[in-house]
Amino acid sequence: MGDGSGRRDEIIAIATRLIASRGYSSTTVRDIADEAGILSGSLYHHFSSKEAVLQEILRAFMGDTLAHFERIVASEGSYREHLDQLIEHAFLTIEQRPDEVRIYQNETGFMMTQPGFEFLADGAARIEELWLEQITAGQADGAFRDSVDPRLAFRFIRDAVWSTVFWYRPGGSHTAASVSENYLELLHAGLLAD
């Protein structure tokens, strides 16, 4: 890795941490440059704007997440197994990349409406399509109840899973695996005792 590439990666890591904790609008180019130990103007040698930094963060996150989801649904296994694996990977992503997930959760709604961020809407639509395919196909083969609206099921699952980034702390009493296990037990068996 060349010096320029390494410096660029360092700036991305700093910006990711700052934007995740402060929010995009409250994080300035000066904040990022100060943390990186460079002058604000020097940041522009690596990125054309603060917006370009955010684009790179979100593009990498969306690309990696979507690629992994695509591999899951293309693998051997039932629709239920695929849905479980999608959920497990989401929790693992929260554990391994919490700052990026937090940025995605906090900033994407607005950024999807901005020029240059069309990839977010495209990626979110493809992810929804992949998850819905597992739910609807699972309903068709009898694995899932067909009385549940698949789009509502997807939204309930998506929001319950990804919003855990706001309270789940890696290194605490639960791992991504144990959170997944508890969530899947609740999803499959419900909360009521027999």
Same domain as 163, residue 93? yes
> Could you tell me the residue range of the domain that residue 161 belongs to?
58-189
Residue 194 maps to a domain = no
Residue 3 maps to a domain = yes
Same domain as 160, residue 90? yes
User: Angle CA(119)–CA(123)–CA(126) in degrees, nearest 5?
Assistant: 145
Closest of 141, 146, 153, 155 to residue 79, by C-alpha: 141
What average pLDDT does the chain have? 94
- Section 93-99 average pLDDT: 97
pTM of the full structure: 0.92
CATH, residue 25: 1.10.10.60
pLDDT value for 4: 65
For residue 93, pLDDT over 60 is answered with: yes
Same domain as 34, residue 15? yes
Residue 53 maps to a domain = no
Same domain as 106, residue 40? no
For 145, how many CA atoms within 13 A lie in the half-sphere containing its CB?
8
pLDDT value for 2: 44
pLDDT value for 192: 87
Write b or e for each residue in 60-80: b if 16 or more Cβ atoms lie within 10 A of its Cβ, otherwise e: ebbeebbeebeebbeeeeebb
For residue 109, pLDDT over 50 is answered with: yes
Same domain as 144, residue 63? yes
Number of folded domains that form the chain: 2
Closest of 135, 137, 165, 139 to residue 153, by C-alpha: 135
Same domain as 34, residue 70? no
pLDDT value for 1: 37
Q: Could you give the percent of the chain with pLDDT greater than 70?
A: 97
For residue 180, pLDDT over 50 is answered with: yes
- Section 168-184 average pLDDT: 94
Residue 6 or residue 153, greater confidence: 153
Q: How confident is the model at residue 191 (pLDDT cuts 50, 70, 90)?
A: confident
Same domain as 68, residue 157? yes
Position of tokens 């509502």?
A: 152
